[in-house]
Structures are given as structure tokens and as C-alpha cells.
Structure 1
Amino acid sequence: MLEPSPRPLRCFVRRAALGGLLALAATSAQAAGELRLYNWGDYINPEVLTRFTAETGIKVGLDTYGSNEEMLAKIQAGASGYDIVFPSVHMQDIMASLGLLEKTDINQSPAFSNIDPSFLRAKTDPKGEYCLPYGWGTVGIFYNKSKVGKPIASWADFFAEARAGKKVILLDDMRETLGVGLIVNGKSVNTASTDDLKQAQDWLIEHKPLVSAFTYESVPMVQSGDVAAAHYFVGALMYVKQDPENLAYVIPEEGATMYQENICVLKSAPNKENARRFMEFFLQPEIAALNTAQQMNGTPNHEALKLLPAELRDNPGANPPPEVRAKLQIFEDLGKSLKQYDRAWTRVRTAK
């Protein structure tokens, strides 16, 4: 059973393709075929693709999506020509069960030793025989330091600002926002318990009058100071880097959700050999680090981690310490329990 995306990253402007940029790179090498990627919007560093084309001669096309479900629906509707997709872990499991993924044996590559085994999270691919761990991050609180009374460290602090008359925003996302209600009450974000969900639902309804909006479009409002704080993705660190005096991102003390995307080759891919070459290319620590440094998130490639700028490598928002990681929860496919989440979310969204 399908479920809403754990997070559409992070809601950046979507791009249809990198076209001209990559075509220029292709002129430096003899064409060696094509590769079509279907990825989250603005979630790959264009320089990674330019370097791949320069090194291999393979022309790369990129289309983007905003959610796991959008991607899956397009693939199931018969979209042809895509070679690689970047599903979240739980969506990889769904796609595997639907027979949509190609076995690549990427785990047989010598460079696969660069991948931290703890990121082999897909239940259908515990050895990494199909997909390559790509990137990961957290979902916490993005806030404007000049608009809050004190630094925000927790959901309690977040709502204290709202009680003080400041505007705060939660994501318009069933799993993520119900996840906040579950986490603050000490529950699993994948619980099948009706009682747990009711507790989270009731907590959110109680706090709803303090919430100015449920939306993904919160970055400009936090930047301008129209909103003091927002429930948002670690990609906010890109904006913090631009304005560190005023902006901050924090993983709440109560805990948070995390996401992980993997590189997967479609069974219907017309360019399977080129797709495998791209996976091998991305295993290089300098390439994984190049992507991570631009995205300001985490990398499963432990050798790439060593190459990151210190301000990112040591940033507790992007690379939290072990005691914080222990409080992070990743979404799983809910199966039949999805209907319970749908009902709880409807009650939250329709509550007056």
C-alpha cells in the first residue's frame, strides 16, 4: 500500500532538465550513449552530472519530481526512458515488491566498501544488491534567530514562541506532522497502535491554534522574519549558510524523523550499463562529497564524509552526534495501517 512521501525535499523549484549545461560537457568527449535520471527537485549537484559526462561521454538527462508517489505513479503509468530513480527507503521496498527494480550487484564493486553498512536499510535489499545509498537528512526546525526570544532547542521552545505571539508553521505532510505528535509523546512514527495515533492526533489538535499555517513554502517567510520558526528539512542549512547571523536549523531535543534516498535502476531502463556506470561513479568519495557539500545534507559514504568542509562535516544539524542519531526515526511502509494515519490526519486538518 502506498503512503504519502516522508518529505518532498524540500520543496525547491523543480527543473525539467539540465540540457544545455550537460550538452556542453558532452562536447569534450565522444558520445557514449545516454542516461536518464528521475530525481527529487534540485537534489543533485549539476557539477556531478557535468563531470560524469566529461569522464564517460554519456549524455545525461534529468527530470524531477516532488514526492515518492508522483515518481511511482509516473513509472506505473508507463513512463518510458528513465534509467535511474532515487526513492526513499520505504518506497524502494514498495517498488521492489512491484517488480520495478533491476538487480545491479553494485555491492560487488570494490568501492562499495565506502558505504556505511548502517545505511543498508531497505528490507528488500539488505545487502545492497539492487540500490546504492545516496543521501540522508533530518527534518527539524528552521528559525529566524532575530525573531525568537531565545535559541530554539525543542518542540516545547517552538510552541513557546507561538504562545508569545510569534508565527510558527508546520509541514502540510501527514507522516511528518503526525510524526511530530508521535515523537513528542514518545511513540514510534511507524506505530500501528490506534491509541498512539489518537494521542498524537489529540496533541496536534490541541496545538493547532498556535500554528499559523501548514505548508512546505515556509523558507521565504522565515528568511524575511514574517514567520519566526518552521518545521522543515535539513536542506534549510543552505539558507543558514547564506545568512548565519539570522537563520538557524536545529534537530529538536525530543527527536526527529530522518529520510534516506537511494540510487535504483529501473527494470525497464533502456541504458542499464550506463546506469551501472553512474552508480560506480557516485561511489567515488570525491563525487559523493561534491553532491553532499552542495546539498548540505548527510552522506552514507564514510570516505566522502572525510572530504567535506569542516563547517558541514562538524555541523550537528547535518551530521548529528551519536546521541542525537539515536533519537532519529525513519519511515517504513505502513501497509494496512495507512488508513488509520489518513483518518488521524483528516481529523487534525479539519479540526476548528
Structure 2
Amino acid sequence: MKQLFSLKSRHKVKITVALTSIAITSLGFVHTASATETLNIYNWGEYINPEVLTRFTEETGIQVKLDTYSSNEEMLAKLQAGATGYDIVFPSVHMQDIMAKLDLLEKTDINQYSGFENIDRSFLTAESDPNGEYCLPYAWGTVGILYNKNLTPDLSSWEDFFELPGEGKNIAMLDDMREVISVGLIANGKSVNTTDRDDLESAQEYIIQQKDNISAFTYDSIPMVQSGDIAAAQWYVGAMLYVFDNPDELAYVIPEEGATMYQENMCVLKRAPNKTNAKKFMEFFTQPEIAALNTRQQTNGTMNTEAIELLPDSLRNNPSINPPEDVKAKLQLFKELGEGIRLYDRVWTRIRTS
């Protein structure tokens, strides 16, 4: 993720994004290929720079159609319900592992392409794809706190965040099971991938204790932070897009106790109708200038080491976007939990119904 929607509004916007479909066509390009030269992308809402798609069409003549989803679960449910026609999807790492177990992903051997040399191998984090034979690392970021500096000028931790209601200020959290539960786990010094019942019960009680003070569980919190209706919200690093637009009023912080890290990868579906075109798009995206073009608009992290050098200093050396090593050490990436996810489902139900 998820800027769940990096614009996350992850993108978002990690804002709830309605399912949309847009056709991307090149301007002034004389297209002589057959009508079958298409590519169908299914991605998080607003989680790709439209200019990237336009550039791809200009260079290849391949017309791109983009559909969007707002969660890993929505994407998988649609595919399992029989949706066809999609070529490329962008699952989070733990969802990539789930999809691999379901035999939904095509082996692309993208790691054999020369441009793969630009990819930081430390982001080959999928347990089902440790060498990058299937999917291309796409983007990464953190889930921290966006806040209004007029209401809370100095916020640095989850503890600070949960103290705001006691000061008469509203807060919001994501409507996301694992992200919310993870805050309780992190606050107690536990792994966000634990399946220990005691750990999860403690996290459950931690969040329930805060629940009466949480104004909403929502993806639509950015406008409320901007307006001052709420002082702070759990949100994706894609919120930096709004921070850059209004740095005097908005700020984003990675809490000092730690936070989750999201990573999405670009994968080709096994039943993709345009596999050759999908592979061309993956190769296209390994170009540093293309990855940098996407990152500049998304304001999150890129795994393309050469692209980082092309970014402006405001992105390349921004501690919220590219945090220092001591902060990175406190970031946790979700893993596929197998049957253990049922424990999280139960905890989430108790949180929402308490």
C-alpha cells in the first residue's frame, strides 16, 4: 500500500476511492499497431502518475486502461469472483504471497532484464518471490500520522496522538484491520505479524481503550485534517503531497515508537490476456527517469537506486519519505499469516463492536 494511495488523498485519496476506469491515450502519436495492442492495469486509486502511462503509450503505441481499487482485499475478491481482462496488479507484499499460493501470478523473469540492476535487492521481501522472478518492486512508504500544526504544533508519537482527545481535539484512524491492530501491537512492543493470542488480546484492549476518543475509522481523513475538524489522523506517507502544498499548517511524522511500512509490487496475472505488453511495461518502469517521474508525483519511496539520484532534494533527503536507518529499524512490514489471519479478524470484530 498501501498513499494506501500515495496522493496514498493509499493512497490513497492508501480517501476511499471509487472504482473508476480511465483510458490513457497518447497525444499526437500516430498509432499503426492493431487494436489488440492494449494493456489493462488494476492498481490502487491514484497510485500511479498518469504521465507514466502516457509516456508508455507514446513510446510503444500500447493503449493503457486503468481500473482502481481501495484495498488488497477488494482486488483479490474481484479476481476470485471471476473478473477477467486485467494484466497487471499491484499487491502489497503479504498479498503477493497469498496470490502466489492461489497460483494467480505469472512468472515473468523480470529479474533477468538489464534494468533490474537498478532495483535495491533489499526490497525483494516477498517470501514467495525472493529473487524477483515474478514481480517488480514498485513503491514503498510508511503509515504514520498526518496532523494540523495549528491544533497540535509538536506531535512525535502514538502516545501524543492518543492524548489529543483529552485536550479536546479529534483524531481518526484508518478503516483497516491490520493497520489499526498494528498500532496496539507496536505500542506494546510486539510484532505486527504475531499470532500469539496474548499479544493480540493486549493490542485489542489497547485500541478499545482509545476507541471512544477516535472520531472515525476512515480513509477520508485528509480533508478533515486540512480543515481542522480533526487534529491528526493515522495515514500514509503520501500525505506529504499535501504537506508540501501547505507546510505551515500540515506535517507528517513517523511515530517514535515505530510504524508499519508498506510495499507494493508490480505483478502480472497468470490469466492476463496481454502478457507480452505487461512485460514491456515492467521493463519500461525499471528506467530510472520513469521511476523518478512516478515518485515525484506520489511522494513515497522508490526501490530504484538510480531513480533516487534524480529526485529533488526535498524528496531524496526528506526524513519522512526516506527515513534514517535508526527510524527504518523500527518499521515493520506485514507478512502473510495463513490461518493466523482469523485471529486478527476476531480482534477487529471485537474492536468495531465494542
Letter in 1 for 2:93: V
Whether 1:25 and 2:27 are equivalent positions in the alignment is: yes
Does the residue aligned with 2:302 lie in a helix, a strand or coil? coil
Letter in 2 for 1:310: D
Query: 1 or 2, which has the higher helix percentage?
Result: 1
Give, in whole Å, the separation in 2 of the partners of 1:319 and 1:265: 28
Does the residue aligned with 1:216 lie in a helix, a strand or coil? coil
Give, in whole Å, the separation in 1 of the partners of 2:293 and 2:3: 25
Give, in whole Å, the separation in 1 of the partners of 2:262 and 2:28: 33
Q: State TM-score, norm by structure 2.
A: 0.94
Residue 75 (structure 1) aligns with = 79
- Post-superposition CA distance 1:45-70 (Å, at most 9, x none): 00000000000111111111111111
1:278–1:6 Cα change, 3 Å: closer
1:324–1:5 Cα change, 3 Å: closer
User: 2:292 touches 2:307 (CA, 8 Å); kept in 1?
Assistant: yes
Whether 1:65 and 2:58 are equivalent positions in the alignment is: no
The residue correspondences of 1:193-208 to structure 2 (distance < 5 A) are 193-208=196-211
- Post-superposition CA distance 1:152-180 (Å, at most 9, x none): 00011112222111111111211001000
Does the residue aligned with 2:127 lie in a helix, a strand or coil? coil
Residue 251 (structure 1) aligns with = 254
Give, in whole Å, the separation in 2 of the partners of 1:184 and 1:83: 40
Residue 55 (structure 2) aligns with = 51
Does the residue aligned with 1:25 lie in a helix, a strand or coil? coil
Give, in whole Å, the separation in 2 of the partners of 1:342 and 1:81: 31
User: 1:36 touches 1:82 (CA, 8 Å); kept in 2?
Assistant: yes
Does the residue aligned with 1:38 lie in a helix, a strand or coil? strand
Residue 239 (structure 2) aligns with = 236
Q: 1:325 aligns with which of 324, 328, 331?
A: 328
Give, in whole Å, the separation in 1 of the partners of 2:83 and 2:103: 15
User: 1:5: Cα distance to partner?
Assistant: 8.0
Give, in whole Å, the separation in 2 of the partners of 1:26 and 1:270: 27
Report runs of 4+ in structure 1 exceeding 6 Å deviation: none
User: 2:3 touches 2:237 (CA, 8 Å); kept in 1?
Assistant: no
Corresponding residue pairs, total: 345
User: 1:342: Cα distance to partner?
Assistant: 1.4
Identical pairs, percent:
63
1:26–1:264 Cα change, 3 Å: farther
User: 1:28: Cα distance to partner?
Assistant: 3.8
User: 1:14: Cα distance to partner?
Assistant: 4.1
Give, in whole Å, the separation in 1 of the partners of 2:283 and 2:296: 19
1:50–1:101 Cα change, 3 Å: same
User: 1:116: Cα distance to partner?
Assistant: 0.4
Q: 1:314 aligns with which of 312, 317, 334?
A: 317
Does the residue aligned with 1:10 lie in a helix, a strand or coil? coil
Q: State TM-score, norm by structure 1.
A: 0.94
Give, in whole Å, the separation in 2 of the partners of 1:171 and 1:16: 22
The residue correspondences of 1:106-125 to structure 2 (distance < 5 A) are 106-125=110-129
Letter in 2 for 1:10: H
User: 2:3 touches 2:236 (CA, 8 Å); kept in 1?
Assistant: no
Residue 16 (structure 1) aligns with = 20
Whether 1:225 and 2:228 are equivalent positions in the alignment is: yes
Does the residue aligned with 1:146 lie in a helix, a strand or coil? coil
Letter in 2 for 1:237: M
- Post-superposition CA distance 1:288-319 (Å, at most 9, x none): 01001101100011111111111011111111
User: 2:3 touches 2:238 (CA, 8 Å); kept in 1?
Assistant: no
Residue 305 (structure 1) aligns with = 308
Gaps of 5+ in 1: none
Give, in whole Å, the separation in 2 of the partners of 1:14 and 1:291: 22
Does the residue aligned with 2:86 lie in a helix, a strand or coil? coil
Q: CA RMSD in A?
A: 1.7
Whether 1:334 and 2:337 are equivalent positions in the alignment is: yes
Does the residue aligned with 2:150 lie in a helix, a strand or coil? helix
1:71–1:26 Cα change, 3 Å: farther
* Stretch of structure 1 that moved more, 239-248 or 158-167: 158-167
